[in-house]
Chains A and B, each alone.
Chain A
Amino acid sequence: MLDIQDSIPTADHDDPISSDPRTFAAKVNSWVPHDIVLKDAWFPLAHSTSVGTKPVRRAIYSQPFFLWRESGQPVASEFHPAEGLSASKSEYSDAQGRYPVMEKYGFVWGWFGNPANAAPQHLPDIPYLPEEGGVPEHMIGTVRFDCCAPLSLENLIDLTHADFLHADVVGDEKMDKETVEVFHDSETITMVRTCVNKSVAPVMKWFGGVRSDVQQVRQVIRIYLRSHVAMAYGRFSPGDNVQLFHPCVPETRDRTRLDYVMNTTNVKKRNPFRYIMPTASYKVSRQDSSMTSPQSPRYMRPEARKDLHSPLDEAGQKYRVLMLALAERQARGDFEYRDDVSADCSELIGYDGT
């Protein structure tokens, strides 16, 4: 039977970002990231190398995910094998308490949402990670943030913060020109930042053999909204390109887990940058945390005072609006993917295999 509910989701396929600046601003400023819980998405729960025959415990919004392998194949279960099936089984797992699970790019991904909607094509495309995994162990790691995942991603997509917070790693704000372009669809947002004659990144100067004082930089941040994962791809000239996979898994609504891959296999084996850059995550993440940790409680409840914005915040503002649009659609019962997150995005991020 066709009722009114069924007809709503197909009604509007407009751009979720309104062209009316006032509507847009109202959305941006109604941002309470702790209230957003998106469903029907693949989350990278663990590095493949962390999952063996002994179960490990992960969480998405406090929902337990136990991961282990049976005959080499990953299993994701709501219950620990020692616990058995519990009467309080959620609707996110099947009759056996199992979640849909995939293994790709060196991660075990679990599906959070309606198991019937799980499909491989909803798994994000990450062009610079080998599909079968196998990136050297020293290029992967885990860091944690005591902030909510969308704040962590909003932090990432606004790269002006790096010039201040991470100046000692990636260089300060001094440059001749900076442009920011933002692309989006209903499931992704991509920010491209181009810097002309930017102060060279100290980590490249000290460890990467870059001798000049300035660099031409093109940095891309691409976020897959539902999965809360981001790519950070930087092209540096002179210098090596930086290929970071930066998931922000919401273990709870205000704690974030980042199982990262800093893929420096593109850097020559005798260049120390190949080994130093992945360890920079430990330093950089503490710098980010120094800001996102005090930010998080300040975004937990609706706030009467509006945040102030600069023209450089376009990406962050659009990220907020796109997340809210998804949340609103899901609140209406519409979980459909209107855009294909598994489509090859190499061209968009400017990745040419290096």
Chain B
Amino acid sequence: MTEAVWWAVARSEEISKDKPVNVDIGDQPIVLWRDSDGIVRALEDRCPHRRAPLSLGCVLGSGMIQCGYHGWTFDGANGQLVDIPNLKSERKFPPVYRARAFGVTESGGFIRVCLDAKTPQPAPAEETLPLSGTENVALDHDQYINALFDDPALVIGIRGVRFSPYLMAELKEQDGRLVLERSCQWASPHWPAPFSSDFPITLKISTDPASGESDLLLRDDQFNPLLRATLAPVPGARGVTQVRWRAKLEAKRPGLMAKAMGLGDPLTVHSHVDGAALRVQKPSASIHAVELRKEIAARTERQETAA
């Protein structure tokens, strides 16, 4: 399941030519860096010589990565070993002398890696949302997505917004994505949600069933977009979910509360999940989500075997 997915393992600003960075997809450690042309490279974060993490090494001026242990140097494009400095000789190494290389794409301010080179690349994003951040959450990937569906407040906060338990549209499949729309209130004095006739804002969540990558859209009741965000949860080592996000607050926001969203961080992604609140959160939308994700995965598999 993790194989054929383009995982958003980093934000563009996290990866540089200066220092390699370690990320993981499940139990698979990966090292990322930019070569001399600024292209992001991804290799298994394990040197094939003595299994040291390549992320402890350095990026050479040539854009190659050099292991910090004995200096073996690899080309990020294909993982090929290009130099063992102590050998003091120009030599070609046989093709088996390589580190495992992974496909990488960069678009919309996200760097995505796929463990299976044959998986078609995602369509490039039209826009790079300016606000961004990274959190590591001690909650596994499936549970993280379920929490987002059942009560977004468990994993995120939107400035001045209260998520209600009521949905404008229940979770269903739309163009291959899982979509739901939740009614929200401003955090100003008002009737409690159970007695409110109308809600001033809604949060629409559209989620990729395989990766859990979710587009968030906060709108008011006149369909004015207020906030757009992408939340990219990636399964990491030991059941930790690494969450990268990007967001944009729309410039035109009618209403006092909407305007006040610009007074601080409009979106916060929590680094911790409140276990007490999580445990007692009754599953609702996530019950549909789990079923739909299974169904879609099975369908994709059938299509692949047919093809």
Contacts and interface: CB of A to CB of B under 8 A. Distances in A.
B1 interface: no
Contacts of A178: 86, 88
A24 interface: no
B21 to A, nearest CB: 15
B86 A295 contact: no
Contact of B51 (A298, A310, A311, A312): A298
B96 A308 contact: yes
Contacts of B66: 164
Interface string A296-317: 0011000001011111100000
B49 A294 contact: no
B51 A165 contact: no
Given A160-B71, A173-B71, A290 B88 contact: no
A165 B86 contact: no
Contacts of A308: 48-49, 81, 96-97
A283 to B, nearest CB: 15
Nearest to B94: A308
Interface string B36-78: 0000000000101111110010000000001111111000000
Residue of B46, B50, B68 with most chain A CB atoms under a 10 A cut-off: B50
A227 B70 CA distance: 26
B96 A177 contact: no
B86 A312 contact: yes
A165 B50 contact: no
Given A177-B88, A310-B87, A295 B96 contact: no
A294 B87 contact: no
Contact of A160 (B51, B68, B86): B86
Given A305-B48, A308-B97, A163 B88 contact: no
A291 interface: yes
Interface in A152-182: 154, 158, 160-161, 163-165, 173, 177-178
Given A158-B70, A291-B69, A308-B97, A163 B52 contact: no
A295 B50 contact: yes
Contact of A310 (B49, B52, B53, B56): B49
B80 to A, nearest CB: 12
Contacts of A298: 46, 51
Given A161-B69, A164-B71, A311 B52 contact: no
B200 interface: no
Contacts of A173: 71, 85-86
* Interface residue SS majority, chain B: loop
B88 A161 contact: no
Contacts of B51: 294-295, 298-299, 307
Nearest to A195: B86
Interface in A232-276: none
Contact of B84 (A290, A291, A305, A310): A310
A240 B305 CA distance: 69
Contacts of B56: 290-291, 294
B81 to A, nearest CB: 8
Contact of B52 (A177, A291, A309, A312): A291
Contacts of A158: 70
A312 B87 contact: yes
Contacts of B84: 310, 312
Interface string B73-114: 000000001001111100000001100000000000000000
Contacts of A165: 68-69
Nearest to B53: A294
A142 B49 CA distance: 29
Nearest to A174: B85
Nearest to B47: A308
Nearest to A299: B51
Given A178-B88, A310-B84, A295 B70 contact: no
B70 A160 contact: yes
B71 A163 contact: yes
Nearest to A296: B51
A312 B88 CA distance: 11
Nearest to B71: A164
A164 B67 CA distance: 9
A160 B86 CA distance: 7
A295 B72 CA distance: 16
A309 B87 CA distance: 12
Contacts of B72: 310
Contacts of B49: 307-310
A164 B52 contact: no
Interface string A175-211: 0011000000000000000000000000000000000
Contacts of B52: 291, 294-295
Contacts of B53: 294
Contacts of B46: 298
Contacts of A312: 70, 84, 86-87
Interface in B220-269: none
12 contacts: A161-B69, A161-B70, A164-B66, A173-B86, A178-B88, A290-B56, A307-B51, A308-B49, A310-B70, A310-B84, A310-B87, A312-B70
Pick the 8 closest A-B CB pairs, nearest first.
Answer: A298-B51, A160-B86, A308-B48, A164-B71, A291-B52, A291-B69, A160-B70, A310-B84
Given A161-B70, A310-B87, 7 more contacts: A173-B85, A177-B88, A291-B69, A298-B46, A307-B50, A307-B51, A312-B87
